[in-house]
Structure 1
Amino acid sequence: MRSLDRKLLRDLVRLWPQALAIAMVMAAGVATLILAVGAHQSLDETRAAYYERNRFADVFAEATRAPNRLGDAIAAIPGVSAVETRIVEVALLDIPGMSEPASAQLVSLPDIGRPVLNRLYMREGRRPIVGDENEVVVNEAFAEAHGFTIGSRFKALLKGAKREVRVVGIALSPEFIYTIGPGDLMPDPRRFGIVWMSEKTLAAAYDLDGAFSNVAVALLRDANEDAVIDALDDLLARYGGAGAYGRKDQISHAFIDAELEQLAAMARVLPPIFLIVAAFLVNMTMSRLVALEREQIGLLKAIGYGNGAIGMHYLKFVLAIAVVGTLIGAIAGTWLGIGLARMYGDFFNFPFLIFRKDPSIYVIAVLVTVVTAGVGALKTVSGIARLSPAVAMAPPAPAIYSRSPFWRIARLIGLPQSLTMVIRHLVHVPVRTGSAILGIALGVSIVIASIWAYPSIDFMVDVTFFRADRQDASISFSETKRIAAAYEVARLPGVLAVEPFRSVPVRIRFGHKERRVSVLGKPADATLSRVIDMDLRPLTMPETGIVLSDMLARTIGARTGDIVEMDLLEGDRRTVQVPVTATVEGFIGLSAYMELSALNRLKREGALISGVYFSLDTARQDALYAEITDIPAANFIALQKVSLQKFRETLAENIFIMTFVYVTLASIIAFGVVYNSARISLSERGRELASLRVLGFTRAEVSRILLLELAIVTFLAQPLGCLIGYGFAYAIVTGFESELYQVPFVLTPDIFAWSSIVVLSAAAISALIVRRRIDRLDLIEVLKTRE
């Protein structure tokens, strides 16, 4: 082995704590990259494979009652490769042991053969037998929530008639990976499920013999989706078509797309932050390490080693650390990535999971880490070449501390001697002090970037559930009803106040941008379900015009005062123009609102409603639930408190897991930054501190000098770290934004406080380790040192 290589091994052994700390910082960056990219690829490839194997449709449309013969005309549309006509309805369920009403989306299965599209993935059992009206298949999450097995029974309210059904199969479907009920914000498998029944059974129950209410279409590879949607709308218009839409607007697919966007945002933002910190730490450590080895470098040059050999020696030192960090990070990232992918697989109800250990991810991780480490060490290595042997072997010139007014002030106010010594040293080496402050500040910032979400989620919950939607529950009708239906709901036991609403599907357009949304009509004086403006104040619904959520307005490029076009997707299907009268706050989905009577006038219809919001007396809610299940018109009941609880539970579980992972990685980086800063300071001032021991200073007094320096640097880094962390958090929030979720950017003082606590804790642990090193200072070596 070459002499320099033996020296390299000795240096790595001698400096193993510092080398390991740097390696762990790099490992955190690599793990974050593999975790984020790996989970994104896993979710994307699993979804793609599931869609392909079970033939997930590309276009969907609903109708009131379209004849089955229309299927041939749909199949003849240019670009269409397959058509599946079916019956889809929403119904209330009466489940034993469950007081509050549950609902299900009823989907017909062909009586002969398998579905052409959206095929079931059977977990247990079989499909219903032709002619048996009571056999059903339920989705797996719904079955697990209620403990259903093959043979379990419950009742379904099919257009006013209660029917007891028997579970004969448990299945999954690519159409319902993310199963969410109308008006809910999160999946709640206890209260909403998917029930597949015989087509003959549903046709008889809903008076759809020889007809369908829903169609799914698969497209050829080169088909024009917009043209197919337009042709499908034309065919279904006379049969109550509600507007066809593509896969991107299908609710399950859209939610998974939003999740993929968030994972992609994490992969774009967090790994670069971690790796930048690693590069800075390598630079800081290597520059100070080389300064400590000036004499060795001078000696190596004096005996004939060239600049290239010595520079390569220190570059190897860095690359060795990078290799260790990459290995640790690759193992940890793969393990965490598989765990995260499994979490998503369980949450989204995938029948299988693909976590492909793509070699390109690991190659990218290695290259990025090695390049990052190399860039961090490049300045130091280039500085070695400029050192002549004579200069390198000579000890550094003693520091000259000028007598500035600061020292007079220090003596005048009676600063302790140890504090004066520390401040004098920090001021004398401003670049080194600044780099240490910046390094620790970066540690604070990445902790902020990892835990920023908690106050944002709390703010979202407050606005959504307590300022805007303050009702206790809402009832959605299977079809529009006269306003008198609201008064019927008001007479139910326990109902204290009611507020009607209407939902109308439209295609809203401004310029060349358009989106498919539902316009929600609300009374002008709404008090239960309110619209909140950008200043977080309740908005009185204007008598004319439309109110857009901020995200919808930005998506289509409209502002207050602009005229937007709306294609009404039900009824007479006219195109109308309405002015935008206001933009309001909204964090979930793309929303549009109108005053209820104005919306009905726009539709040229009477006082019609789609459902009712209401508040209730909780002491009588069981009696209310018992009567609701007997209302023929009702097909879904949304319970606000239950939705809030599910929203919190789901977010708490997912965010806690993600936050725990990233805070752990961020804490490793914070500790690595603080520990390396403290250890290097000890190495630089070891002889000085030992000399103080020889002069009679106690161990506590000597330790106080170095630890006081660490404390000052750490505390000075907190404001800068909070400022940088604010920028990092803003970048992440911006990356998370999608049309389904708009996370508000809210950073409260406790986030900064907890981030500081994490870094201060790392500093305290580092201080304890350094204190033990101070206690072992070699006083004999100091006595042998020449001036």
Structure 2
Amino acid sequence: MSPLDRKLLRDLWRIKGQAIAIGAVIGVGVLMLVMMTGLVTSLDETRRAYYERYRLADIFAPVTRAPDRLIADLAAIPGVSAAEGRVTGSALIDLPGVDLPLRAQAVSLPDFGEPRLNDVYLSAGRRLDSDRSDEILLLEGFAKAHGLQPGDALSATMNGARRTFRIVGLAQSPEFLYTTAPGELAPDDSRFGVIWMSRTALAAAYDMEGAFNQALLSVGRGDERAAVLDAVDRILDPHGGLGAYGLENHESNRFVSEEISGLRAMSSGVPPIFLGVAAFLLYIVVSRMVQAEREQIGLMKAFGYTNVEVGAHYFKLILAIAAGGALAGCLAGIAAGRALIGVYLEYFKFPFLVFQLDPQAFVIGFGVSVLAASAGGLVVLRGVFALTPATAMRPPAPPDYSRAGRIGRSLNRLLDQPSRMVLRRLTRQPGRMAGAVIGIAAGMALSVGMISILSGFDRTLALTFSVIDRSDVTVTFTEALSENAILELQRMPGVIEVEPVRIVPAVLRNGLKTYRGVINGLVTEPRLNRAVDQDVATIPMRQEGVILATALADILDIAPGETLTVEVREGRQPVLDIPVIGIAETLLGSPAYMELGALNRALREPNRVSGAYLRVDGAQRESVYRQLKDMPTVAGVSLKADARDAFQKLMDTGAGAMRYIMAAIAAIITFGIVYNAARIAYAERARDLASLRVIGFTKGEVAFVLLGELAAVTLVALPVGALLGYYLSFGIAAGFSSDLYQIPAVFTPESYGAAALAVIAAAVASGWLVKRDIDRADLIAALKTRE
């Protein structure tokens, strides 16, 4: 081993505390990169394999009723490789001991053989026997939520008739990775299920013998999807086609894609922040080490070492810290990814999900870590190359502090000697102090950003389920009914208030921008479910046009005063041009609102409602639920409390759970930054502090000289970090938001206070660790430095 390599090992041991702290900062950046890219790769590859293995359709085409002979016409469309018709319908499941009717979707399977498209994965039991019309397969998640097994009986109401079935198997399907009841956004296994039946049995239940109400198509990869969709609509329109749509607009796939996109955005946006902070810290550590070792650099050059050899020595120090942190980050990222993969397996109903490492993540992690560290180190090494042996072995010229000294001269009479030392240090080296302030402010900004996001998730829940939705129960009818249905609900004992609603599926279009959603028809002055503005005031429903949620307006790139094209996907399916008259502050989903009467007039269906919001007496809830369960016109009942719990679970898993991981990492980063600032200051002043001890200063006074500087720098960094955190929060909030929910950046005194306390706690802990080293310092060794 060469002498320089032995010196390298000694230097690493001497600054082991700082090296570990900087390596930890690099490590968490690489951890996030490896973990997130691994999760993205795992989800993306598993989804692709699952879709291909079970032949998920590329195009879905709902229709009112179409004869089976049209399947041949659909299969003949250029670009279509396979076409199949099936029967689907809504159902209500009746379970003993459950007051509420549970919603389900019934789906047909071919009487013989496997389906050409949208096959199912059988996780328990056996497949259907076509000779037995009472056999069903049940969605595994729903079955587990209610303790159902193959062999159990199940009662369900289909098309107004109650039937009893026998469960013969539990199944999963790529079509139902993300399962939600119609009209809801958060999945809940206990409140929504899927039933698979033989084609003959389900067609008989829904009067679909010889017909289908949904076509599935598979298309080649290179074919024009838009042309196929137009051809499908032309064939099915005479039979009540409701508008074909591609897999990208399928609800389950869309939410899975949103999750993957969110992880991909975070994997590319978050790690660079941590690696940038690490590069800054390395620059400070190495630059100050070079300044402290001027004499050693001069001696090495005097003994014949070239600039390249001396520079390589310090560059190896940088690489050792960066590579060590990157390696630790890779290993920790693998462990974290494997731990989170179980969460996603539960979150999305994959039958299999294995954490797959992305080799590029290792290369990028190591490469970016080394480059980020080298960027700061190379600036320092320029100074090493510039030093000649004669210059390096002389002490540096003393700086001129005459001007800086005037700043604190007026305070000298008010301060004791240690305090004056702290003040002189701060005023005479403003550049170094500014670097320390920026470093600690970066940690403060990370804490502010993550705490504001935690508050943003809470605000989304509170605004949605306490301010916007003030109902207790949402009732959905089997079809659009007359307003007499509302009178029937109002007469129920225990119902305090009823508010009608009309929900119409539609494709919203502004030029080339489209969104497949619904129009919510509300009463003029809604009370139980409202649209609100930025001040959380109710927006009255006006008859002139439509009001869009902020997220929907952004998706469609439309503003008030412009005209929105609405392609209705029910009934006569009119195409309407409606002006946009307002923007609503809605954080859940991307709804559009119209006045109920105006919506019905536009559809030429007066006095129609498709559901209602109810406020019920808590003492009579069970009675109300039982009455709703017995109403043949009710397609579903959902409780706001259950929806809130489901959405809370949604936010605490998947990408939402990342906020806790990132908050913990922000705390680690903050401590690493503050600790490094303290260690660097101590390394620079070790001899000065030892000298103070020799001339009679106590341990406490010596510690005050150093820690007073740290305290002053920390206090100055707090407002700077708060300002940086304010702007950083908007970027993090945008990364967490999706079509499903929008997370605002919420700024409260509590969030700033909590972030400040985190920084102060890190400063106190770092100060304690440094003071311990001061108390243990070897005064003789510290004073063995030539001036």
SS of 2:734 mapped into structure 1: helix
92-101 or 29-38, which moves further after superposition?
A: 92-101
* C-alpha deviation, 1:728, in angstroms: 2.2
SS of 1:66 mapped into structure 2: strand
CA distance in 1, matches of 2:557, 2:779: 73
Structure 1 match to 2:262: 262
Aligned 1:12-411 pairs, distance under 5 A: 12-398=12-398, 401-402=401-402, 404-411=405-412
* C-alpha deviation, 1:726, in angstroms: 2.3
Matching residue's letter, 1:175: E
* C-alpha deviation, 1:354, in angstroms: 3.7
Counterpart contact for 2:39–2:356, Cα < 8 Å: no
1:513-552 CA-to-partner distances (Å, cap 9, x unmatched) read 2322211111112211111134421111111222222222
Matching residue's letter, 1:687: R
1:372-403 CA-to-partner distances (Å, cap 9, x unmatched) read 11111011111111112222112234455437
Counterpart contact for 1:91–1:634, Cα < 8 Å: no
1:475-494 CA-to-partner distances (Å, cap 9, x unmatched) read 11222211111112222332
Counterpart contact for 2:186–2:643, Cα < 8 Å: yes
Cα 1:647/1:110, change in 2 over 3 Å = same
Matching residue's letter, 1:469: D
* C-alpha deviation, 1:656, in angstroms: 7.4
Counterpart contact for 1:27–1:326, Cα < 8 Å: yes
Counterpart contact for 1:91–1:158, Cα < 8 Å: yes
Matched, 1:516 2:507: no
Matching residue's letter, 1:595: E
Matching residue's letter, 1:153: A
CA distance in 1, matches of 2:660, 2:565: 46
23-32 or 584-593, which moves further after superposition?
A: 584-593
CA distance in 1, matches of 2:451, 2:352: 31
Structure 2 match to 1:538: 538
Q: What TM-score, normalized by structure 1, do the two folds share?
A: 0.96
Matching residue's letter, 1:692: L
1:314-349 CA-to-partner distances (Å, cap 9, x unmatched) read 001111111111110110011112222332122101
Matching residue's letter, 2:640: Q
Matching residue's letter, 2:211: A
* C-alpha deviation, 1:297, in angstroms: 0.7
CA distance in 2, matches of 1:492, 1:315: 80
CA distance in 1, matches of 2:525, 2:660: 44
Matching residue's letter, 2:468: A
CA distance in 1, matches of 2:659, 2:347: 17
Matched, 1:2 2:2: yes
* C-alpha deviation, 1:786, in angstroms: 5.5
Aligned 1:254-653 pairs, distance under 5 A: 254-398=254-398, 401-402=401-402, 404-412=405-413, 414-653=414-653
Structure 1 moving runs of 4+ over 6 Å: none
CA distance in 1, matches of 2:559, 2:699: 69
CA distance in 2, matches of 1:494, 1:163: 29
What is the CA RMSD across the aligned residues, in angstroms? 1.9
* C-alpha deviation, 1:673, in angstroms: 1.7
Counterpart contact for 1:243–1:570, Cα < 8 Å: no
Counterpart contact for 2:153–2:166, Cα < 8 Å: yes
CA distance in 2, matches of 1:37, 1:674: 29
326-335 or 529-538, which moves further after superposition?
A: 529-538
* C-alpha deviation, 1:237, in angstroms: 2.1
1:235-268 CA-to-partner distances (Å, cap 9, x unmatched) read 2223332221111111101111111121112112
Matching residue's letter, 1:171: A
Cα 1:274/1:223, change in 2 over 3 Å = same
Cα 1:588/1:230, change in 2 over 3 Å = farther
CA distance in 1, matches of 2:593, 2:786: 83
Counterpart contact for 1:28–1:666, Cα < 8 Å: no
CA distance in 2, matches of 1:189, 1:722: 42
* C-alpha deviation, 1:439, in angstroms: 1.0
* C-alpha deviation, 1:754, in angstroms: 2.4
SS of 2:270 mapped into structure 1: helix
Structure 1 match to 2:763: 763
* C-alpha deviation, 1:55, in angstroms: 0.7
Aligned pair count reads 786
Counterpart contact for 2:408–2:423, Cα < 8 Å: no
1:252-295 CA-to-partner distances (Å, cap 9, x unmatched) read 01111111121112112110101100110110111111111111
Matching residue's letter, 2:410: I
Counterpart contact for 1:534–1:583, Cα < 8 Å: no
* C-alpha deviation, 1:100, in angstroms: 2.6
SS of 2:492 mapped into structure 1: coil
Cα 1:139/1:783, change in 2 over 3 Å = closer
Matching residue's letter, 1:127: R
1:99-144 CA-to-partner distances (Å, cap 9, x unmatched) read 3321111111111211111110110011221132322111111111
Counterpart contact for 1:589–1:741, Cα < 8 Å: yes
Cα 1:566/1:654, change in 2 over 3 Å = closer
CA distance in 2, matches of 1:156, 1:622: 20
Matching residue's letter, 1:628: L
Q: What TM-score, normalized by structure 2, do the two folds share?
A: 0.96
SS of 2:184 mapped into structure 1: coil
SS of 1:746 mapped into structure 2: coil
CA distance in 1, matches of 2:516, 2:664: 42
CA distance in 2, matches of 1:156, 1:315: 72
CA distance in 2, matches of 1:245, 1:693: 79
Cα 1:222/1:784, change in 2 over 3 Å = closer
Counterpart contact for 2:454–2:659, Cα < 8 Å: no
334-343 or 244-253, which moves further after superposition?
A: 334-343
SS of 2:402 mapped into structure 1: coil
Cα 1:785/1:386, change in 2 over 3 Å = closer
1:643-688 CA-to-partner distances (Å, cap 9, x unmatched) read 1122123323557742342233323322222222211211211111
Gaps of 5+ in 2: none
SS of 1:497 mapped into structure 2: strand
CA distance in 2, matches of 1:65, 1:303: 93
CA distance in 2, matches of 1:199, 1:285: 72
Matching residue's letter, 1:34: V
% identity of equivalent residues: 44
SS of 1:288 mapped into structure 2: helix
Counterpart contact for 1:468–1:531, Cα < 8 Å: yes
Cα 1:239/1:633, change in 2 over 3 Å = farther
* C-alpha deviation, 1:738, in angstroms: 3.6
Cα 1:264/1:653, change in 2 over 3 Å = closer
Matching residue's letter, 1:420: R
* C-alpha deviation, 1:181, in angstroms: 0.8
Counterpart contact for 1:181–1:187, Cα < 8 Å: yes
Matching residue's letter, 2:402: S
104-113 or 725-734, which moves further after superposition?
A: 725-734
Structure 2 match to 1:695: 695
SS of 2:45 mapped into structure 1: helix
